[in-house]
Amino acid sequence: MTITVVGSIAFDGLETPSGVRERIAGGAAFHFAQAASFYTDVRVVGPVGDDFSDEDMALLATRGTNTDDVERIAGGKTFFWKGKYHDDLNTRDTITTELNVFETFDPKLSDASKASEVLFLANIVPGLQRAVRAQCEAAKWVALDSMDLWIDIMRADLVAAIGEVDCLILNDGELQQLTGARTTYAAAQAIFGWEKAPSAIIAKLGSYGATLYTNDGGGFTVPVFPLENVVDPTGAGDTFAGGVVGYVAARLAKDPGLKVDRDVLAAALIHGTATASHNVEAFGAEKLADLPGSEVQARVDRLVELTRSPDATIELRA
């Protein structure tokens, strides 16, 4: 079972309370692939410039990720973002954003990428997401991420793109912004009421975990993995998505007829959370690149223990 991910490949300049990195590989597709490659084969589609070295490409190719559809733009520079995190690590200031080759990104998918059974549409222009989705007719399950900018300036296009996928992954603020709802739950229900809507919505809650909603009334919430120290939150959401989508792909590989329902996605949330917990303990891919899968599984097991509900039956007063 192969996943195709379409999105940004970048360099990040980072400053957190734990230190500074002037220029390290990052981007949505990069972080997604680092996580999803624990579970299955991944094909990456995205642009880079001449400054993206062979060593950077090898890092992207961790655990066998296929980079044949990474387009190297001659004379171009790779997308660059620089930011500084506050002490609480929940807020950050963007210092520099240079779109470079990403500004004119027009995804070019090989026949092999079009044939993937699972597709992740990372945060790119909604019209491009729709174009990619239309090309990937073989995809059995598709998930999509987006951001506040597209909600502001391309809402109609984004709504159309969301209606063509199986799972929407946004943070809680973006869900409320998209719908005008006052709570994440209300936002999910509003989306399920659209003429065309995904069957599942995952709300990323930052340092509070993530919540799943399904269109049959199901749901599940997973807390963040308890950590003593967070070094760099950059890419945590994309790493989380990689764990979620990677797990779903691995399950579909074992059972092609599997219904991706609440129970499957609840387990996927645990895997995404476990994977992201390793990512935030170091800058960029400094930990995930060489991390054994057994260490991800150990945190999955711990999260299963933490989320197992005790019997809460009690007789209440009228």
Predicted local distance difference test score (pLDDT) of residue 248: 98
- Report the alpha-carbon distance of residue 276 to residue 274 in Å, rounded: 6
Query: What does the angle CA 5 – CA 226 – CA 213 come to, to the nearest 5 degrees?
Result: 50
Whole-prediction pTM: 0.96
User: pLDDT per position in the chain (318 positions), as tens?
Assistant: 999 999 999 999 999 999 999 999 999 999 999 999 999 999 999 999 999 999 999 999 999 999 999 999 999 999 999 999 999 998 899 999 999 999 999 999 999 999 999 999 999 999 999 999 999 999 999 999 999 999 999 999 999 999 999 999 999 999 999 999 999 999 999 999 999 999 999 999 999 999 999 999 999 999 999 999 999 999 999 999 999 999 999 999 999 999 999 999 999 999 999 999 999 999 999 999 999 999 999 999 999 999 998 899 999 998
Contact between 14 and 27 (Cβ < 8 Å): no
- Report the alpha-carbon distance of residue 200 to residue 198 in Å, rounded: 5
Sequence-ordered alpha helix ranges (H) in 62-202? 111-114, 126-135, 148-153, 155-162, 172-179, 184-192
- Report the alpha-carbon distance of residue 271 to residue 277 in Å, rounded: 10
Predicted local distance difference test score (pLDDT) of residue 309: 84
Predicted local distance difference test score (pLDDT) of residue 90: 84
Query: Mind listing the domains of the chain with CATH numbers?
Result: 2-306 (3.40.1190.20)
* CB-facing half-sphere around the CA of 197: CA atoms within 13 A: 17
Look up residue 126 and give its amino acid.
Answer: P
What does residue 58 show for φ and ψ, rounded to 5 degrees? -65, -35
- Report the alpha-carbon distance of residue 156 to residue 150 in Å, rounded: 9
DSSP state of 42: E
